[in-house]
Amino acid sequence: MHELEHLTIIWVGVLIAHFMAKATRLTPVLFYLFMGAIFVNMGILPEHPSEFIVDFAELGIILIMFALGFEESTTNFMAGMKRSWGIAFFGGLAPFLTAYSAAYYFWGDVNMALVVGLAMTATAVSLTLVSLKSEGLNKTRAATGIMTSAVLDDIASLALVAIIIPIAAGEASLSLTSIGFVVLKTIVFFLAVAALSSWVLPTEPKGPLSFIPGLGRFGIAHLFSLTRGQRTLVVLIYVMFVAIVSYELGFHPAVGAYMAGLILKEEYFDMSVIKVLSEEKTDTSEDYFSMKRLIDNIAFVWAGPVFFIVLGAKIIFDLDLLLSVVPYVVILTLGLIVAQITSASLAARYTGGFSYQESVMIGLGMLGRAELAFVVMDIAYVQNNILTDQAFYTLMVTAFFLNLAVPLGIKLWKPYFIKTGM
């Protein structure tokens, strides 16, 4: 029963956060993190959540990322990737060098500095996009630029995790074989996503597989026609399958969930097509817009927020230790804010062709550090003992303040941003 009690407490925190967000007109994400930190330090929630809560939070972030991908246009995303390579490269390189330099100055350990740099490189894209959504900005060009560059950034960071962590832990050496294997897995994943998008999901497959007789009968619209009343279940099975494949290839499942939503097009839910295929009365309660409303409700109201509450609960107020890391946190946080906003904004302006207002919004949106940062911290601190207590708390508190800066920065910059017509 303890797990259910904890989940109920978390949902109470979510509800309180919604009221606080409404009263202050700030994004609920800020208050989810705040409620998590308050609950754990008051002893209302345990410092180490149960496996059930951890898995539920993981499901929440997977559904959030799927929901965000589901409402994004595949065409816009692909066009955005062409414009976002510079944001991903420079917006990742500058924070890495800043965090590495600061950590090496603080503690004089190369391995620790590599891990700190790695943890502070990947953007918490889910935090940013939820914040943008709460401001009604999630369908803007800047949001697409953030998402595409953050996905590229996260993929590069995941590759570095596979390379740097074993080296820092003394378990492996840098080799062309290890790098090549990571690159190969990345290529395999995106080829699989492309195959789903072009050959498997459509009612009329495209490309080489279109020559296989009868393959079109296995498109997702046909599957919907056979599962009238269970289309929501089909969609959930589909997104979990892609997320699991993503995880097995070494990526965070949230990355796979976003890609799964991205390639699931509105046309697959065309009721007229499904009606012809099934030759039965169609269930309009499971069309595209109804499905989207249902998924948004699950992702943004009662499942997804659990992830952010649990994320906030990672901050434990050990006063002596916290006071000892204050100088490190101040220097690292300010350094990363300047490096991230400057590098990502300049890259967006001069390599992506975004306007000044859009470029600053992209820089602000790239500040968050969450999922992958905490994965790196867990691997380095808990599993491999690479980080000291001071380094771990410095990273935790720095990530917390960077996450707080995202919704606040977006909120404050919005009046200037909307002048561009978005």
Confidence at 6, pLDDT banded by 50, 70, 90: very high
Domains of the chain: 53-420 (1.20.1530.20)
Q: Which pLDDT band, with edges at 50, 70 and 90, does 222 fall under?
A: low
253 CA to centre of own chain: 9
pLDDT computed for residue 271 by the predictor: 56
pTM: 0.70
Token output for 8: 């109920």
Rounded CA gap, 244 and 62, in Å? 10
Res 195: pLDDT:
74
Residue 307 binned pLDDT confidence (cut-offs 50, 70, 90):
confident
Of the listed ranges 59-73, 216-230, 267-281, the one predicted with least confidence: 267-281
Q: Write down the pLDDT at residue 173.
A: 59
What number is the average pLDDT over the span 188-207?
Answer: 68
Asked if residue 93 has pLDDT above 60, the reply is: yes
395 has a pLDDT exceeding 80? yes
Question: Is residue 38 scored above 90 in pLDDT?
Answer: yes
At 65 the pLDDT is: 81
| 384 burial via Cβ count (<10 Å: 0-12, 13-18, 19+) | middle
Is the pLDDT assigned to residue 275 strictly greater than 70? Answer: no
Calculate the alpha carbon distances from 290 to 227, 287, 295, 303 in Å.
16, 5, 9, 18
User: pLDDT (tens digit, 9 = 90+) per residue, 160-191?
Assistant: 776 677 667 665 556 667 667 766 777 777 77
Q: Which of 18-22, 144-148, 183-187 has the lowest mean pLDDT?
A: 183-187
Q: Any residues with CB less than 8 A from the CB of 133 and at least 6 apart, and which?
A: 68, 300
Q: Average pLDDT, stretch 277-296?
A: 66
Question: What is d(CA 297, CA 412) in angstroms, rounded to the nearest whole number?
Answer: 27
- Of the chain, the percentage scoring pLDDT greater than 70 comes to 76
385 vs 354: which has the higher pLDDT? 354
Q: What would the two tokens of residue 136 be? A: 């009604």
Most confident of 193-197, 206-210, 296-300: 296-300
Average pLDDT of the chain to the nearest whole number: 80
Q: Which residues contact 89 (CB under 8 A, 6 or more apart)?
A: 347
Each as own residue / partner, the long-range contacts of residues 276-279 (CB below 8 Å, 24 or more positions apart, any chain) are: 277/203, 277/221, 277/222, 277/225, 278/225, 278/226, 278/228
Per-residue pLDDT, 373: 79
Q: Are 335 and 100 in contact (CB under 8 A)?
A: no
Rounded to whole angstroms, the Cα distance separating 341 from 370 reads 17
Query: How far out from the chain centre does Cα 125 lie?
Result: 4
Query: Per residue in 308-322, pLDDT tens?
Result: 898 888 778 878 888
* Intra-chain end-to-end CA distance of the chain, in Å: 48
pLDDT of 328: 95
Query: Residue 270: what pLDDT?
Result: 64
SS (H, E, C) the chain: CHHHHHHHHHHHHHHHHHHHHHHHCCCHHHHHHHHHHHHHHCCCCCCCCCHHHHHHHHHHHHHHHHHHHHCCCHHHHHHHHHHHHHHHHHHHHHHHHHHHHHHHHHHCCHHHHHHHHHHCCCCCHHHHHHHHHHCCCCCCHHHHHHHHHHHHHHHHHHHHHHHHHHHHCCCCCCCHHHHHHHHHHHHHHHHHHHHHHHHHCCCCCCHHHHHCCCHHHHCHHHHHHHCCCCHHHHHHHHHHHHHHHHHHCCCCHHHHHHHHHHCCCHHHHCHHHHHHHHCCCCCHHHCHHHHHHHHHHHHHHHCHHHHHHHHHCCCCCCHHHHHHHHHHHHHHHHHHHHHHHHHHHHHHHHCCCCCHHHHHHHHHHCCCCCHHHHHHHHHHHHHCCCCCHHHHHHHHHHHHHHHHHHHHHHHHHHHHHHHHCC
Place of tokens 């020559």: 211
